Amino acid sequence: MVGIIERYRHLWNLGPLDESNLVTLGEGQTPLIRVRTPWADGAGPQVFGKLEGCNPTGSFKDRGMTLAVTMAKQAGKTAALCASTGNTAASAAAYAARAGLKAVVVIPGGKVAPGKLLQVRAFGALLLEVEGAFDIALERLRNAIAERSRWELVNSVNPWRILGQESAAYEVVEQLGRVPDLFLLPVGNAGNITAYYRGFKRLGLIPPRFIGCQAEGAASMVEDRDIENPETVATAIRIGKPVSRSFAKEAVTATQGRFVAVSDQAILAAQAELAHQGIFVEPASATPYAVLLRLWQLGELPSAQTAVLVFTGNGLKDSDTAQRVFPTQKTAWDGSTAALDNALTADEVLP
């Protein structure tokens, strides 16, 4: 499958690129599907979900990583380094492995979902831990590598990351045939909202109204301040000092959008509701659905609109949290049809 560089490089100015340096795992072209809502058709917006968990490492990060690692290789860099709440780490490790570069990932101690750590180990990156949140990991890493010109920082401060992530906006327009009215996505370090905003603009289109979705314990944009000790079950967006704060603000104010925070409880409830319609996302990625439901309850969703939710990461990544949301249910079976009859008429079996 052709990745996003080959599909969209005609829109970008990448300069000279030796084709042998192109690093891809076939990212992009993720599905955009209808999301069921508590309201009837026509009574509220038609809602679509962009399944970014379908990317090669299970999150949207691959769109930026293919470009960042390709350009690093083209520039003769020897290593890719990042600070991460987990998904950037998994993606950097995979693309570096693909490219034959070394990778180093720095994570906030104890708060990264196990599936993401497993990916980092599988791809052979060096895993370093710091005490404290993501923000400290990024600050330390930026300082430590400032004088090393052959090492590439592949966090979203790397402009190629944001440019690659724009590709998701192009795809939404292709898939929907238009720009949606409302656009809801989780906001952590605020790179992705920046990328979508720029993506619609690069196509010469008027961007949708952006609703930046955060967890109450890490609501840096909603509260318009740095959060010293961010805390949320949605560990992917457990970030207190978004690097792209000013760009995210611009995306929201220029489109008459807003930032909204929801509780961890609402996030996990949204994760369960999505799972009950066959969509398994990690907690951070359920945040937009939680926000959508909240706005609906408040009567703040204008009718007859189209809304897109970005489901940024796959639910399997955070198996620890998922085990709590979806406890194990094992029942011994004697092989009889009667037992199946009983089971399928029981209330626990959905829908």
CB nearer ligand F0G, residue 17 or residue 275:
275
Residue 60: how many CB atoms within 10 A of its CB?
A: 33
* 282 binding ligand F0G? (CB under 6 A): yes
189 interacts with ligand F0G by CB under 6 A: yes
User: Which residues, including other chains, have CB under 8 Å from residue 73's CB and lie 6 or more apart?
Assistant: 21, 23, 99, 101
- Is there binding between residue 49 and ligand F0G (CB under 6 A)? no
Q: Is the peptide bond before 351 cis (omega within 30 degrees of 0)?
A: yes
Compare residues 24 and 235 and give the one whose CB is closer to ligand F0G. Answer: 235
Residues 147, 251: contact at Cβ < 8 Å? no
Letter for the amino acid at 330? K
Q: Is 88 among the residues that bind ligand F0G (CB under 6 A)?
A: yes
- 79 near ligand F0G, judged by CB under 6 A: no
Question: Measured in Å, how far apart are the chain's first and last C-alpha atoms?
Answer: 36
Size of the site for ligand F0G (CB under 6 A): 22
Encoded amino acid at 40, one letter: A
Per the CB < 8 A criterion, the answer to whether 168 and 195 are in contact is: yes
Nearer CB in complex with ligand F0G: 31/74: 31
Span near ligand F0G by CB under 6 A; candidates 84-92, 170-178, 198-206, 215-223: 84-92
313 binds ligand F0G (CB under 6 A): yes
User: Which residues, in sequence order, are CB contacts of 322 under 8 Å at separation 6+?
Assistant: 271, 280, 315, 316
User: Taking Cα atoms as reference points, which of 133, 93, 91 lies closest to residue 3?
Assistant: 91
Q: How far is the CB of 134 from ligand F0G (least distance, A)?
A: 6
Pick the closest to residue 283 from 292, 266, 294, 271 (CA basis). 271
**By CB under 6 A, residue 81 contacts ligand F0G:** no
How far is residue 21's CA from residue 48's CA, in Å, rounded to a whole number? Answer: 35
Residues in a beta bridge with 59:
313
**Whether the Cβ atoms of residue 176 and residue 308 lie closer than 8 Å to each other:** yes
Q: Is 236 in the site for ligand F0G (CB under 6 A)?
A: yes
Binding of ligand F0G at residue 158 (CB under 6 A)? Answer: no
Stretch near ligand F0G under the rule CB under 6 A, chosen from 18-26, 124-132, 282-290, 293-301: 282-290
User: Could you say which of 4, 279, 284, 290 contacts ligand F0G (CB under 6 A)?
Assistant: 284
Q: Please, which residue, 44 or 194, has the CB nearer to ligand F0G?
A: 194
- Asked whether position 314 contacts ligand F0G by CB under 6 A, the answer is no
One of 237, 260, 309, 322 touching ligand F0G (CB under 6 A)? 237
Near ligand F0G by CB under 6 A: residue from 191, 217, 240, 315? 191
Give the residue carrying structure tokens 């920082």: 153
What is the binding site for ligand F0G (CB under 6 A)? Answer: 59, 61, 84-88, 156, 186-192, 236-237, 282, 284-285, 312-313
